[in-house]
Copies of this chain bind each other. A is one copy, B any other.
Amino acid sequence: MHMKTGVEQSVYAVLLLNMLPDKAVLPGEAISQQLKASPTYFRKLLRKLVSADVIASVPGVKGGFKLNKRPEAITVYDIYLAIEGRQSLYSSSGILGDLLELEKEESCCLLTDLMEEAEVAWKSVMKRETISSLAEKMNEQQFLLKTEALQQWVQRKMVA
């Protein structure tokens, strides 16, 4: 049981997009290069973020990706959800219903309820942190210098 690495990559990709000035976009290949990810697979991740309305894409020459919401409105959970989808961590395989030979499945949930509650607790923590709060942390003392270098890289690679 492990979270896809795509979630982490996506978070950092969105953080990069957050450094763009208004109206500018960053080509997908530049992003995957910077993240050292495989370009072809990374496009799939970006498209998932697009479907989830976290980011927007513009096609054509000088196309690329940009945020689709204010950074305060994008939580880590939004990104997780876009990449991992809605299926929950746990899902009953109906063993108990089997054990007890129940006809209808309703109201026989010893574990499902508990696991669902656990999952809600887990997700609620991920909902607390937003792209803008993460960006702030990147601007703290110890990272400031490197973060500025990153921003300059974004300036160079962006278009439009």
Contact = CB atoms under 8 A, between A and B. Distances in A.
A100 B1 contact: no
A83 to B, nearest CB: 10
A138 B110 contact: yes
A152 interface: no
A121 B125 contact: yes
A89 B2 contact: yes
6 contacts: A1-B1, A8-B95, A9-B93, A36-B98, A114-B126, A121-B121
Contacts of A138: 100, 110
Given A114-B125, A121-B124, A150 B100 contact: yes
A101 B8 CA distance: 17
Interface of A: 1-5, 7-9, 11-12, 34-36, 76, 84, 87, 89-93, 95-96, 98-102, 107-108, 110-111, 114-115, 117-119, 121-126, 128-129, 134, 137-138, 142-143, 146-147, 149-150
- Of A100, A147, A149, most B-chain CB atoms within 10 Å: A100
B3 A99 contact: no
A111 B142 contact: no
Contact of A100 (B96, B126, B146): B146
